[in-house]
Structure 1
């Protein structure tokens, strides 16, 4: 199996904007012990302008929408209105960092979270810090719904249909979300996971990224194979890998043979920094 070329020429085990912004959100949840979106934005500023939450003291591969939204907040201090709302601003920059909100939703609303309208408000506010168009909000809804189907032990071939059913049920009460559903029509195809590679795009468009990540996850049976399948699509490989990895990491958690390869973990840059954030978050959001 081929391995995607390191086009940024980063040291092995480096991480880019996807992981950095996810760490910002996770660290905020761990430190504030709540969802404080102003604090999250302050950490985004620390990343973009102070090179914090980076492996090599440099913020890599910054998307235009993220950059503009964070710059808006730095200038105006208004987290509720800093995200971009235009249809052209439907990149994958909120989808790629949304997974830590899973832990907040789980502890706040329980495993049936995707049946609770309040949970969608949380997801939308978190996405809208940078990406506020309904299409991006819906992409995050679908992704979190898939995570909760995994958490609840849904059989793998039923995970996506069950997630889509719950999100669509909510969308019937929110026209701006319902009107965007047709952009994700391919996810409703019974044989979506069996589509040939040439029909899967891995561009930075939120719909393409979500499709590619789900396709890689549903079409493999280990974390290693999922990640290799995802990143070898090329194009926006780091983000597709991050989004797919969030699903595979949750699904194969605790499975030594199918989980994250130890040889990959040992190569992660600044691992102590990452582990420290994870340990704080675990105590707050997965403790009793």
Structure 2
């Protein structure tokens, strides 16, 4: 879970930019947590407390309204209207589910529930399931090729590519269809946690969310995040968030 949050923070200064390189400054003065972190913590809190996902998502989003929420999400939040969005907001926040639940069918069921309350479009639900299942498989020792094969077969994402092939023609895309597969590729191409988030951010576009999705899977797979990265990240997260993150990692025995 902290791996997803770090990805959000690292990617935040580069959102909507044309990065096109992996050798960039990992933390800048304006490296901050955004809506990706807020809602990832909300999902984790919902799991820990047994409260409905929608209730926690609304609670956290209302408390942190200035953290770059999308227009359609804000409309859903304010007017409580049905939202059939296919944006990647459903997938950016789902990593705690892949970490917490012990059965694959339960992971997929909970991923759908967490998505559907605010992103009730088949593409958004599919994206959330794909990221949650990737985290689950990575956590449980599946190989990268097993993850690649399963996500391709079950969800149809084109992840038989590499980052160098994607990067030249990639552009800002905040839909699940245009970002979930790319984030998974960034993880699959990586050699360690830091490399995964660098590759995700290097694609440009919706960099914080790409790195958030890739970072969650990478934490689950590599099970180790460098101390200097953790130290920088903790300094940029509110104490309330830190408490929930630590409780979540302890409750589900998640290494980082």
Report the TM-score when normalising by structure 1. 0.70
* Change in 2 beyond 3 A, CA 1:275/1:60: closer
Residue of structure 2 equivalent to 1:218: 188
CA shift at 1:271, angstroms? 5.6
How large is the Cα RMSD of the aligned pairs? 2.8
1:74-106 deviation digits (Å, cap 9, x = unpaired): xxxxxxxx5412xxx211111111111224422
Residue of structure 1 equivalent to 2:20: none
Residue of structure 1 equivalent to 2:165: 195
Residue of structure 1 equivalent to 2:113: 125
- Does residue 98 (structure 1) correspond to residue 94 (structure 2)? The answer is yes
* Change in 2 beyond 3 A, CA 1:62/1:122: same
Candidates 95, 119, 135, aligned match of 2:123: 135
In the alignment, the residues of structure 2 paired with residue 251 and residue 98 of structure 1 have an alpha-carbon distance, to the nearest angstrom, of 16
In the alignment, the residues of structure 2 paired with residue 235 and residue 120 of structure 1 have an alpha-carbon distance, to the nearest angstrom, of 27
- Does residue 209 (structure 1) correspond to residue 179 (structure 2)? The answer is yes
In the alignment, the residues of structure 1 paired with residue 135 and residue 242 of structure 2 have an alpha-carbon distance, to the nearest angstrom, of 21
Q: 64-73 vs 205-214, which deviates more? A: 64-73
1:181-224 deviation digits (Å, cap 9, x = unpaired): 5xx4523x4x4567342244452111221122112111120111
Candidates 39, 45, 57, aligned match of 1:41: 57
**Structure 2: gaps of 5 or more residues:** 1-9, 16-27
Bigger radius of gyration: 1
* Change in 2 beyond 3 A, CA 1:247/1:201: farther
1:19-68 deviation digits (Å, cap 9, x = unpaired): 111111112322x1x25234323423xx33x33xxxxxx62221122212
- Does residue 159 (structure 1) correspond to residue 147 (structure 2)? The answer is yes
Structure with larger RCO (C-alpha < 8 A, sep 6+): 2
* Change in 2 beyond 3 A, CA 1:192/1:225: closer
Candidates 197, 219, 228, aligned match of 1:263: 228
Pairing of 1:23-62 with structure 2 (within 5 A): 23-30=41-48, 32=49, 34=50, 36-44=52-60, 47-48=61-62, 50-51=63-64, 59-62=66-69
In the alignment, the residues of structure 2 paired with residue 119 and residue 222 of structure 1 have an alpha-carbon distance, to the nearest angstrom, of 25
In the alignment, the residues of structure 2 paired with residue 120 and residue 83 of structure 1 have an alpha-carbon distance, to the nearest angstrom, of 22
Pairing of 1:172-251 with structure 2 (within 5 A): 184-187=156-159, 189=160, 191=161, 195-251=165-221
In the alignment, the residues of structure 2 paired with residue 83 and residue 124 of structure 1 have an alpha-carbon distance, to the nearest angstrom, of 16
8 Å Cα contact 2:163/2:203 also seen in 1: no
**Structure 1: gaps of 5 or more residues:** 52-57, 74-81, 169-180, 255-259
In the alignment, the residues of structure 1 paired with residue 45 and residue 11 of structure 2 have an alpha-carbon distance, to the nearest angstrom, of 30
Q: 196-205 vs 210-219, which deviates more? A: 196-205
Q: Give the length in aligned residue pairs.
A: 231
